[in-house]
């Protein structure tokens, strides 16, 4: 809250502090199949965000009473490593923010999965943020969808997301940590790229109806590009180009 | 809530969904019709502000307690606001006792975001001595009876409790010491956001879903709307998704009912 | 502890600060069946105390290993809402005081219930204090007994309670918050009104044997009157006069 | 404890109850006879005070640790007392490890109320510098072997540990700084409350129930008795009730045994 | 850490502050069968250490899913009573130190037990430190082995332990609390006395290879003497000399 | 880990053990051969220092965060070091989410003891104003992929992250106020301890066990070795024991590989 508006986020020529145009995304790189033990995995570098996702399942549900008779149980845990934040060390105990984000991520992924295909089983998605620089929940969803596909979970579409921010009264694509902290608003959006269905939508900061329409349109366009990178990562994985996490530097 | 899907018998489920397809609802409402809303304030006398809200059979109670303490280190010039909600079993057999789970936390955080983002309170006016003494405002929200759409009930109850709150007036001496007067004053209200939730059931959208509608819905979308008609928070929930067009239609439905809800809030606060 | 005796609790004509005589009870009003989802419920206003009770059961016991082979399992949870107290906001985490009170309330109700009638089932009693002004545990028991009866739980008698305090050396019926804080003693008593059996008895503060005998006698007399109000509430409920909690103001 | 009822075979249960109906007890005692009580102090050398108490096979240990710290904000002129008890599995297979449950908490709170209400300690004499430095006294109580009536054993052990405690003497300089001397002094004892529990089994009352008697009892009633014979705390427990007449008879039984228990406490403290 | 080396731990004639020679053990006394309810028990006084151990089992495993199909489950809980420490009262909540010590104690005892003899059962070892003065983990192991034997658990050998410290550059047998706090190193060692197998070995502080060899040799020799005391305690127990804990003073 | 024993099929178990009896290992290594070690630093840009370490397929990440705060009351003249580790399910299906269990705690405490005892950091050089402002250094360790010997990987990652760490330089005014400069400086490193674990399988000892070897091992012994070849910490784990002779042989194996591990650490730190 504090400091909202206290930092100028646009230069005089309308560029953002990291040099991007308002509708410009940060560099995005996804790798699939980066972990040996997980059934599926993905690693995403998105601007300075670094996020690792492991997927286990479909497997027998533990504890058993949580199993659902008519569909697969999807569980997600989003967590930030204590040293992933710019501020002082975060306690490793899950915060209320992490609990909520875990829930909305799960509900963003569920629409894309054929949950009825594997009743009584469970799939666990573990998301670890190694370095955070804004928009981590949509980056997590983007990586998690790739990890689910890598695990062979039957899906009707991938899910990809991006955050639209509001800085100095203008909508800005893919906001970073600084823009999140000092900007006027943040609207994280996730969609199934082919079906065009919005599966995550949150916002804080004030938006008019017109701004919401525009934001959804900006997001939709960006999500197509993100989807291309997701597909590339999966293709490389299946063609054996995939790398272990950490087997090559962070580029 | 996770297993809501499985709690309703299939024939009942199909009946509700096919009614809605025809534009009808099980309780006789139209798709864009909100249930009867009742708001009473001052219902918990030890709270600094309190309210009880009914949306049909859904009932929520909220209480405000304010006390003076230090600000957060990173916000020396602002009071603090903490929203807490707990889905207690008094209100429904689907709620279990125990520490807050993801549903409690999401609810509290959505209400918190809506109030903070509007903003409902001028937090910067809650400072007595910068970096030292500020008002710390706690809002606690509890369900009393649950018949669906507890997010809106919570948001309304929280806002009504804030409007109802009266706290002691303090004088600040030049050396920074505080002296409490007998007089009690309202909190510095900046806006009166209202929470409106739309459920998607098949291809239809309905406002203010009741519990059985929640059991069969595909997804929900909550808007928090400020006086000027802006959206200051959104939250999608549930296992389904919305098309972009549905989002816009849902927003229009929400914008249609918001002014009346706000009017009820303000009337209840004035009546006290 | 602090302040015990530091506030004068009786006026010169022997009245208490709220104007009551020593053996005078505060206004008491009970309503049964005030909740839609619970199997039984009651709401009590007793002086400034406002307490809501919901009862679920008899129902299958969860978790199953807690089920008792030879009788019903009764569980009680007494909790104070964070804004129910005169002092600063109470943390929502159950305090040690709440845990103990939950136990003694359960043991005050159990003697009245035919526990053997429904082996392996459980009954849950949830008590929420909305506004507290002394003697909340006996007010809770009084309301809980009504809620149990409203749920149709088989009982041999109701249970009703009242607190006897000691202020300025004299016994006082139905002490309020101020009298509890600054008085010399507090003796909460619950009885089965018809059978005359004492099912809750606690005390702190010093009492002679004679005072204990006198306190029990004062309580017994008051409990008869409280019992009348309990019966009225149940009668109104069955004759359809019962109101939802909050459907009419607090009167 | 919740399931105690079901732990004893029915024939054994009936045998115990019918003996008691005849005025006999399984261990040969009379209804109003307390078990042999043994009290030793100074059994835990790092504690500031400690005691081990046996009531027949029931054994409890209590330790006092005192340290200097700030008072509670609402009691600037009083030291603090905290009583903690934990029914650890060392003492019985019926106790399970884990965080304190309702039995641990009730036990600690009953002992705390008895000591505080008597009062055992003059808390106002535990102040070194008002609002700033006071003695904070912790009593921790643990069972060693459990054969019934652990409340009385705990109360006796806690009181014996308090009587046994010696803490450093502090001098307070005019500017409020503290200096610790080598000398150790007793805590300011105001009274010596004793805890006496009566079990109701059928129509009979027995003092100091052993474990099997607890398994078959209908209810229990604990009295805490001060030197002058007053009752400073009571606690009814268990799934049954007492008639008013039974309460009075129970109190008389308790008053009969209290002086001897107090004498043992004081003798143990003197002997150290 | 603090104060390491800031206190002189050896007098000018090479004696330790409690008068012992470097290779001298403190007085040790063990009693077996001191508890009535436990299946096996032991009490040890070792210098000023006072430790009580209760053993339950072999018994059915609760919760059931923890049972092991091919062997007995051994569980240990080492805990220090809040008043057992020289410093301020310890919180009763288990510390990380207690959790780790519980684990290494369990792993020190397991090699001596015929775990395969009672599959699916469990044995619980509860260790309560009443007074602590250094080397409590090895004293606990020493007492726990006696309590296990007292409970009739089939064992191939006992386990006994001792701590070797390093003070003023020299190895010292059986270090006490002061020597632990201000000394340069601590090496707790447990062995099966007859088989000579080391079942616990930890260290902090710097040791050369030669010092480690010497420490193991000192420990082995001391453990033979400790073993004698363990056997005496068990012999006395079986010949009925055993005393209840607390039935006679601490001698 | 408790049930590791039962997780491997008996024939596989026997195969591994009999290979090792013949001096062979399943991955082709010799008994005293460490897996390929890779160390990268600076992998988490918001940490003050970070490192990722691979031992074959085993991967760990560690991050250092340092901040200024008060010292522990009993160590006014020393900075503080806290090591935390959590075996998260990302790395293996055998790790479960939830609060730290005994395996997490043992791991963190062994790394902590090794670093503290060497010592890796001169804690007394982390003091800005005695008793008031000191550096508080947190190291958090997480597995990324688990293929055995996570203790060594953790120790190496923690030490590499410490070597990589750069913290702001502070100037202390005569009145004790701090001013932060733009310059960042390394932490005061005193030694570079390395962690080497030896597994005992039957009568054989092997260094750096992989996961399947851990499943069949009798016990493990970890040495932490300082630059001068001393042992600054040891930790035996597992359900078996070691003869004195085996301990000495294990130590020799550890001492043989330590210098190379330390050289890798130092090279990685320099390369950054």
Domains in chain C: ranges and CATH: 4-237 (3.30.230.70)
Residue entry with tokens 């949509």: A138
**Three-state secondary structure along chain B?**
CCCHHHHCCHHHHHHHHHHHHCCCCCCCCCCCCCCCEEEEECCCCCCCEEEEEEECCEEEEEEEEEEEECCCCCCCCCCEEEEEECCCHHHCCCCCCCCCCHHHHHHHHHHHHHHHHCCCECHHHHEEECCCEEEEEEEEEEEEECCCCHHHHHHHHHHHHHHHCEEEEEEECCCCCEEEEEEEEECCECCCCEEEEEEEECCEEEECCCHHHHHHCCEEEEEEECCCCCEEEEEEECCCCECHHHHHHHHHHHHHHHHHHHHHHHHHHHHC
Residue B5 reports pLDDT greater than 50: no
Model pLDDT, residue B6: 52
Q: Evaluate if residue F1 carries a pLDDT over 50.
A: no
Does the beta-carbon distance from A35 to F97 stay under 8 Å? no
Chain F residues lying within 8 Å of E79, measured CB to CB: none
Q: Residue holding tokens 């209200």?
A: B189
Residues in D lying within 8 Å of C, measured between beta carbons: 3, 5-6, 74-75, 77-78, 100, 102-103, 105-106, 108-109, 113, 116-118, 123, 219, 221, 226, 229-244, 247-248, 251-252, 255
**Measured distance CA(E143)–CA(E157) in Å, rounded:** 14
F94: nearest CA in chain A?
Answer: A37
- Name the one residue in this structure whose structure tokens are 């069969």: B216
Quote the mean pLDDT of chain B.
95
- Check E131 against D140: CB less than 8 A apart: no
* Touching pair A, D by Cβ (3+ pairs < 8 Å): no
Q: Does A50 contact F44 at a Cβ distance shorter than 8 Å? A: yes
Å between F63 CA and nearest CA of chain A: 6
What is this structure's pTM? 0.96
E236: left (phi over 0), alpha (psi -120 to 50) or beta: alpha
Q: Which domains does chain B have, with CATH numbers?
A: 5-271 (3.30.230.70)
SS3 of chain A: helix, strand, coil, percent, to 5: 30, 30, 40
Contact list in D for residue C115 (CB cut-off 8 A) is 239
**A128: pLDDT confidence band, cut at 50, 70 and 90?**
very high
- Tell me if E187 and F234 make a contact (CB, 8 A cut-off): yes
Among C201, C209, C215, C217, CA closest to C159 = C201
Per the structure block, which two tokens stand in for D263?
A: 């004498």
User: Is the confidence at residue C229, as pLDDT, over 80?
Assistant: yes
Q: Which two tokens stand for residue D133?
A: 């430095």
In sign, the C-alpha dihedral spanning D3, D7, D11, D17 is negative
Note the pLDDT of residue A6.
75
pLDDT digit string (tens) for E123-142? Answer: 999 999 999 999 999 999 99
Beta carbons within 8 Å of A165's beta carbon, 6+ residues apart: A171, A172, A175, A179, A180, A183, A184, A185, A186, A187
Q: Which residues of E touch D268 (CB under 8 A)?
A: none
List the one residue out of B197, B226, B233, B222 whose CA is nearest residue B114.
B233
Q: How far is residue B207's CA from residue A231's CA, in Å, rounded to a whole number?
A: 38
B191 within 8 A of B119, measured Cβ to Cβ = yes
Contact C26, C46 (CB under 8 A): yes
Nearest to F121 by CA among F85, F159, F150: F159
pLDDT of residue E6: 75
Q: Which residue has the higher pLDDT, C7 or B111?
A: B111
Residue written as token pair 């991955």:
F27
Q: In D, what residues contact E, Cβ < 8 A? A: 38, 40, 43-48, 50, 52, 54, 57, 59, 61, 63-65, 67, 84, 86, 88-93, 97, 99, 138, 140, 142, 144-147
Q: What does the pLDDT look like over C31-86, one tens digit per residue?
A: 999 999 999 999 999 999 999 999 999 999 999 999 999 999 999 999 999 999 99
Q: Which residues pair with D195 in a beta bridge?
A: D224
The pLDDT score that the predictor gives to residue C110 is: 98
**Cβ contact F116–E97 (<8 Å):** no
Q: Do F52 and A246 touch (CB under 8 A)?
A: yes
| A126 — pLDDT class (breaks 50, 70, 90) | very high
- Measured CA to CA, the distance from residue E181 to residue E41 in angstroms comes to 30
Integer CA distances (angstroms), D256 to B92, D34, D227, D229, in order: 51, 10, 12, 10
Question: Is E212 in contact with F77 (Cβ distance < 8 A)?
Answer: no
What is the distance between the alpha carbons of residues A120 and A117, in angstroms, rounded to a whole number?
A: 10
Chain B residues within 8 A of C56 when measuring between CB atoms: 89, 93
Q: Give the pLDDT of residue C4.
A: 62
CB contact under 8 A, E201 and F233: no
Q: What pLDDT, on the 0 to 100 scale, is given for residue F3?
A: 44
pLDDT value at position D220? 98
The residues, ordered by sequence, that sit 6+ positions from F266 with a Cβ below 8 Å of its Cβ are F163, F192
Cβ-defined contact of B146 to C81 (cutoff 8 Å): no
Mean pLDDT, 10 residues at a time, over chain D (272 residues)?
A: 60 94 96 98 98 98 97 94 97 94 98 98 97 97 97 98 97 93 96 98 97 97 97 97 98 98 96 78
Inter-chain CB proximity E37 and D146 less than 8 Å: yes
Position B52 scores a pLDDT of 98
Q: Let me know if D203 is exposed, middle or buried by CB neighbors in 10 A (0-12, 13-18, 19+).
A: exposed
Query: Six-digit token pair at D87?
Result: 């029914």
For residue F6, pLDDT over 70 is answered with: no
Q: Between chains, do B116 and A1 touch, taking CB under 8 Å as contact? A: yes
Instruction: Kindly report, residue by residue over F84-129, the tens digit of the pLDDT.
Output: 999 999 999 999 999 999 999 999 999 999 999 999 999 999 999 9
DSSP state of C6: S
Chain C residues close to B46, C-beta within 8 Å: 83-86, 131-133
Please report the pLDDT score of residue B271 as a whole number. 85
Q: How far is F249 from chain A (nearest CA, A)?
A: 33
Of B9 and C137, the structure prediction assigns the larger pLDDT to C137
d(CA B253, CA B257): 7
Residue E194: its H or E element: none
Query: How close B227 gets to chain A, by Cα (Å)?
Result: 11
The answer to whether the CB of B189 falls within 8 A of the CB of B120 is yes
Q: Which helix (H) or strand (E) holds A34?
A: none
State how far the alpha carbon of D108 is from the alpha carbons of A30, D85, D151, in Å.
Answer: 57, 5, 9
Helix (H/G/I), strand (E/B), else coil: D268? helix
Count other Cβ atoms within 10 Å, centred on residue B183.
10
* DSSP structural state of residue C65: G
CA distance B234 to chain A (A): 5
| ipTM for the complex shown | 0.95
CA dist., res. F2 & res. F7, Å (int)? 10
Per-residue pLDDT at D218: 97
Model confidence at A241, pLDDT cuts 50, 70, 90, reads low
Kindly state the average pLDDT of the residues B64-93: 96
pLDDT mean across residues, chain F:
95
pLDDT score of D170: 96
Chain D: residue whose CA lies nearest to E85: D46
Q: φ and ψ at E19, to 5 degrees?
A: 90, -5
Q: Do the Cβ atoms of B145 and C88 come within 8 Å?
A: no
Instruction: Give every CB contact of residue C106 below 8 A, 6+ residues apart in sequence.
Output: C74, C75, C76, C125
Neighbours of C, requiring at least 3 CB pairs below 8 Å, are B, D
Mean pLDDT of chain E: 94
Contact E161, E93 (CB under 8 A): no
Q: CB–CB of F3 and E68 under 8 A?
A: yes
Chain F residue with the nearest C-alpha to that of E112: F240
Cα–Cα distance measured from residue F234 to residue F224, given in angstroms and rounded to the nearest whole number: 6
d(CA D154, nearest CA chain C) in Å: 17
Please name the member of A70, A110, A207 whose beta carbon is closest to the beta carbon of B231: A207
Chains C and B touch (3+ CB pairs under 8 A): yes
pLDDT digits (tens, 9 = 90+) for E45-73: 999 999 999 999 999 999 999 999 999 99
Residue A249 vs residue F36, higher pLDDT: F36
Angle at A21 between CA A17 and CA A22, to 5 degrees: 95
The model's confidence at residue B3, banded by pLDDT at 50, 70 and 90, is very low
Dihedral (Cα; B260, B266, B187, B106), 10-degree rounding: -30
The DSSP result for F55-106, as a single string, is ETTEEEEEEEEEEEEPPPTT-TTS-EEEEEE---GGG-TT---SS--HHHHH
- DSSP 8-state class, residue E245: T
pLDDT tens digit sequence for E139-173:
999 999 999 999 999 999 999 999 999 999 999 99
Distance (Å) of CA F219 to CA D215, F150, F201, F250:
46, 15, 7, 12
Residues F26-50 have a mean pLDDT of 97
B-C CB pairs within 8 A amount to: 95
- Give per-residue pLDDT as tens, C95-105: 999 999 999 99
Any CB–CB contact under 8 A between E243 and chain D? no
**Would you state the structure tokens that stand for residue F52, as one six-digit string?**
């990722």
Chain C CB contacts of D3 under 8 Å are 68
Q: Is C32 on the interface with B (CB under 8 A)?
A: no
61-90 in E: which are within 8 Å (CB) of D?
Answer: 77, 79, 81-86, 88-89
pLDDT at A184 (0 to 100): 96
Name the 3-class secondary structure at A186. strand
For the ranges A240-244, C221-225, D9-13, F225-229, the lowest mean pLDDT is seen at A240-244
* pLDDT for the residue E247: 66
Cβ neighbours of E89 in D, within 8 Å: 65, 67, 138, 140
Closest Cβ–Cβ partner in E68, E110, E212 for F231: E212
**E242: confidence class by pLDDT, cuts 50, 70, 90:** low
- Answer whether D64's CB lies under 8 Å from D138's CB: yes
- Whether chain B has a CB inside 8 Å of the CB on A196: the answer is yes
Distance (Å, whole) CA B86 – CA B101: 9
CB contact under 8 A, F230 and E206: yes
Interface chains of chain F (3 or more CB pairs under 8 Å):
A, E
How far are the Cα atoms of A88, A188, F65, F129, F182 from residue F171, in angstroms, in the given order? 20, 42, 20, 10, 11
Contact between F237 and F254 (Cβ < 8 Å): no
For residue B142, the chain C residues in CB contact (below 8 A) are: 81, 128
pLDDT at D64: 98
Per residue in B200-256, pLDDT tens?
Answer: 999 999 999 999 999 999 999 999 999 999 999 999 999 999 999 999 999 999 999
- Judge: B61–C84 Cβ closer than 8 Å, yes or no: no
Q: Which of E35, E37, E132, E133 should one mutate to test binding to chain D, selecting the residue with the greatest count of D CBs within 10 A?
A: E37
Give A162 to chain F, closest Cα distance, Å: 22
Mean pLDDT along residues A199-219: 98
Tokens read off for C128: 């929420």
CA distance, residue C86 to nearest chain B CA (Å): 5
Residue F26: helix, strand or coil by DSSP? Answer: coil
């Amino acid at each position: 809250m504090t400091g909202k508006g206290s930092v100028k986020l646009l230069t005089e020529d309308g560029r953002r502090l990291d040099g991007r145009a308002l509708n410009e995304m940060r560099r995005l790189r996804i790798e699939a199949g980066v972990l040996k033990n997980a059934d599926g995995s993905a690693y995403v570098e998105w601007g300075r965000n670094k996020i690792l996702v492991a997927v286990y399942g479909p497997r027998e549900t533990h504890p058993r009473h949580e199993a659902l008779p008519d569909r697969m149980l999807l569980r997600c845990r989003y967590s930030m490593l204590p040293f992933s934040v710019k501020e002082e060390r975060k306690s490793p105990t899950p915060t209320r923010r992490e609990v909520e984000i875990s829930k909305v991520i799960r509900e963003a992924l569920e629409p894309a999965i054929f949950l009825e295909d594997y009743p009584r089983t469970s799939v666990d998605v573990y998301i670890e943020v190694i370095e955070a620089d804004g928009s981590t929940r949509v980056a997590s969803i983007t990586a998690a969808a790739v990890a689910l596909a890598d695990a062979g979970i039957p899906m009707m579409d991938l899910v990809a997301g991006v955050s639209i921010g509001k800085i100095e009264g203008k909508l800005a694509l893919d906001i970073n940590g600084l823009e999140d902290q000092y900007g006027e608003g943040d609207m994280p959006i996730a969609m199934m790229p082919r079906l065009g269905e919005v599966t995550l939508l949150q916002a804080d900061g004030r938006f008019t109806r017109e701004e919401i329409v525009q934001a959804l349109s900006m997001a939709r366009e960006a999500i197509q590009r993100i989807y291309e990178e997701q597909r590339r990562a999966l293709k490389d994985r299946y063609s054996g180009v995939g790398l272990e996490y950490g087997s090559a530097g962070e580029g | 809530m996770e297993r809501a899907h499985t709690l309703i018998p299939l024939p009942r489920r199909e009946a509700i969904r096919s009614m809605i397809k025809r534009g009808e609802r099980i309780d006789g409402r139209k798709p864009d019709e909100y249930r009867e809303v009742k708001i009473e304030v001052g219902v918990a006398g030890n709270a600094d502000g309190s309210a009880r809200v009914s949306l049909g059979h859904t009932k929520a109670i909220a209480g405000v307690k304010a006390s003076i303490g230090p600000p957060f280190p990173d916000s020396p010039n602002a009071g603090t606001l903490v929203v807490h909600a707990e889905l207690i079993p008094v209100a429904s057999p689907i709620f279990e006792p125990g520490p807050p789970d993801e549903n409690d936390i999401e609810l509290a955080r959505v209400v918190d975001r809506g109030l903070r983002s509007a903003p409902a309170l001028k937090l910067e006016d809650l400072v007595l001595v910068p970096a030292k003494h500020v008002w710390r405002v706690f809002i606690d929200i509890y369900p009393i009876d649950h018949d669906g759409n507890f997010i809106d009930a919570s948001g309304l109850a929280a806002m009504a409790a804030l409007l109802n709150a009266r706290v002691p007036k303090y004088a600040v001496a030049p050396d920074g010491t505080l002296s409490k007067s007998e007089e009690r004053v309202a909190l510095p209200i900046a806006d009166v956001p209202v929470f409106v939730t739309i459920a998607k059931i098949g291809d239809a959208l309905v406002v203010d879903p009741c519990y059985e509608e929640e059991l069969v819905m595909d997804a929900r979308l909550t808007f928090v709307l400020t006086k000027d008609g802006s959206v200051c928070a959104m939250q999608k929930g549930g296992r389904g998704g919305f098309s972009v067009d549905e989002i816009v239609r849902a927003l229009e439905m929400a914008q249609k009912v918001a002014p009346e809800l706000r009017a009820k809030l303000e009337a209840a606060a004035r009546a006290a």
